[in-house]
Homo-oligomer: A and B are copies of this chain.
């Protein structure tokens, strides 16, 4: 399967040149002295908090990061390759609220977080358990990171996401992961988790994010270096201009990782979109989000780096048509443009504010469909099936043909929840909407969930760690 290309090669070069010009002449603010020290030692000019990047330095550093790497799961069958022709899906991230049909919108709790971890473990289209799927508002802030990491490791045997909240939580993530996955050296060889660190747009990084970036980089842990520039608010209203701002932020962050530890795996991560001009707020369901996803995919490929973009993104306040088509728009663009890592692949509502149980299931179906499309087609004798076409001939039927029987399970996507029956059967079954079916499905998945096995000694150490945290 080819990749959808929005820009020509020479346009990409123009964007790259414009980015380097901004980095060199306007510079970026780094509100963290250790980061500025690293840049100063590498030859950047520093003025107060502002760092000016020589073009050559940026180009050299970007080349040091690997084009592809693997996340190693507790269950080796669930290892995930990040980069190349691969696409990895993981759930929602950072939502303070949760929502379901029965109880409505409310603050997220640790139980909600655990439920989403269990769903992510069980749903085959989710590749990574996820990170801050919802905020566990019912437990002390000081315990939250440890609880999230603990739940991510025990309720799922897929790779997971570490803290994206600063140096201290990054260190804690590494420490806790080490209980399950071995020494720091072993984890640097076979990283079990990835984290997301974000710029402070436009053209800056705050102290917490710099601290997180440097802590993970020191340990050789993979990270997304992410920019969410808002066209018309934190970037020019043109998507082209916003792309330059996004690009400068990502490249500056990646340069920092490589200066701290050459070869640290990074993901070129762009999630910029446009302002809803009428309200002055961010819109993540806008078509400009899809435009940026395509542009980000191409820029990441241009730098030969794994790339993040897209997601099941929506501005809708409820699980409705708007939520569904906006989500599919960005998921399709991610799939076709060659995105490798899709954060927010399931559950997001209200522009990142809420994680919905029903939408988690509906978006999982979208992920399954996108994976089917991404698989591509093969022009082989068996697939072209000329013998079968000849044998059936004009006016014949293929339903009862052996070739159909032999291939249908591999060839045709089998839906989780989609309604393909006729109207009268659907009516007989209760005229259920997709939202109602998703409500029943998430409960069924949670009711039949079984915790994946974990080595007893490891679990004991982890429990002891958590006991110390909880009673500190």
Contacts and interface: CB of A to CB of B under 8 A. Distances in A.
B6 A412 contact: no
B202 A396 contact: yes
Contact of A404 (B232, B288, B384, B388): B232
A235 B235 CA distance: 50
A260 interface: no
A389 B315 contact: no
A237 B398 contact: yes
B237 A435 contact: no
A145 interface: no
Interface residues of A, number: 126
Given A323-B321, A421-B279, A434-B316, A235 B395 contact: no
Contacts of A105: 423
Given A412-B275, A419-B317, A15 B379 contact: yes
B322 A325 contact: no
A422 interface: yes
Given A383-B238, A397-B233, A328 B324 contact: yes
A21 B422 CA distance: 37
A291 interface: yes
Interface stretch (A26-34, A85-93, A129-137, A152-160): A26-34
Contacts of A202: 389, 392-396, 398
A150 B71 CA distance: 63
A431 interface: yes
Interface in A426-469: 426-427, 431, 433-435, 438
Interface in A268-288: 274-281, 283, 285-288
In order of increasing CB-CB distance, the 3 nearest A-B pairs are: A241-B385, A324-B324, A276-B420
Interface of A: 1-8, 11, 14-15, 18, 21-22, 25-29, 50, 105, 200, 202-204, 231-241, 244-245, 274-281, 283, 285-288, 290-291, 295, 315-329, 332-333, 336, 350, 353-354, 359, 362, 365-366, 369-370, 372-373, 376-380, 382-386, 388-390, 392-399, 401, 403-404, 407-408, 411-413, 417-423, 426-427, 431, 433-435, 438
20 contacts: A203-B395, A232-B404, A236-B385, A237-B407, A237-B412, A238-B383, A238-B385, A240-B378, A240-B380, A275-B399, A275-B412, A286-B420, A288-B413, A315-B419, A316-B434, A317-B427, A320-B324, A320-B435, A325-B325, A326-B328
